[in-house]
Amino acid sequence: MKKCGICKRIKDYVDFYRNASRKDGFANKCKDCSESIKRDRKGIKKREPSKYPSGIDGVKMRSRALQLKRAYGITLDEYDTMILSQNGVCSICGKEETVVMRGARQSLSVDHCHSTNRIRGLLCSKCNRGLGAFGDDIDIMVSAISYLKQCG
């Protein structure tokens, strides 16, 4: 028997994950508390099984939902609303995403201000990389536009 360092309950060793670096070979918090902490860190709660379809599509949707929540603080529904408001195209070039990875077309990227974390819109991979290459620096982008006009 072992006492959980979080909930302070005494539980059987099977209720603890193994941890070779600990003296007794088990983690200092029980599995229930460990999972609860993981969910809290991700900012999510347990989902109802019916929210996402079963199979590989459901796994992909859950994965995308977690990534959006962690990285940008938005839900999959909020992302879908943004897609609809942009008619499914990039905010800059007005084109659909063209990059295909593992046989599937990529989703539009969530563009955000790196200093305020405010979401600006959804961009195709090319426009997103372009902004990143210019470091979101408006002066450099204006200079690039001038350069292109003189060569044009």
How many Å separate Cα 84 from the centre of its chain?
Answer: 19
DSSP assignment letter at 15: G
| Residue 55 in this model has a pLDDT that exceeds 70 | no
- Span 23-54, pLDDT tens digits: 899 998 899 888 887 776 666 555 544 455 55
- Span 57-83, pLDDT tens digits: 556 777 788 888 888 888 888 888 998
Q: How confident is the model at residue 114 (pLDDT cuts 50, 70, 90)?
A: confident
User: What is the pTM (predicted TM-score) of this model?
Assistant: 0.58
Locate the domains of the chain by residue range.
Answer: 2-42, 86-151
| Residue 142 in this model has a pLDDT that exceeds 90 | yes
Amino acid 89: pLDDT: 92
The CB density around residue 33, as the number of other CB atoms within 10 Å, is 20
Residue range 86-151, CATH number: 3.40.1800.10
**What is the Cα–Cα distance from 17 to 19, expressed in whole angstroms?**
6
| Residue 139 in this model has a pLDDT that exceeds 90 | yes
Share of the chain above pLDDT 90, in %: 26
Average pLDDT, the chain: 83
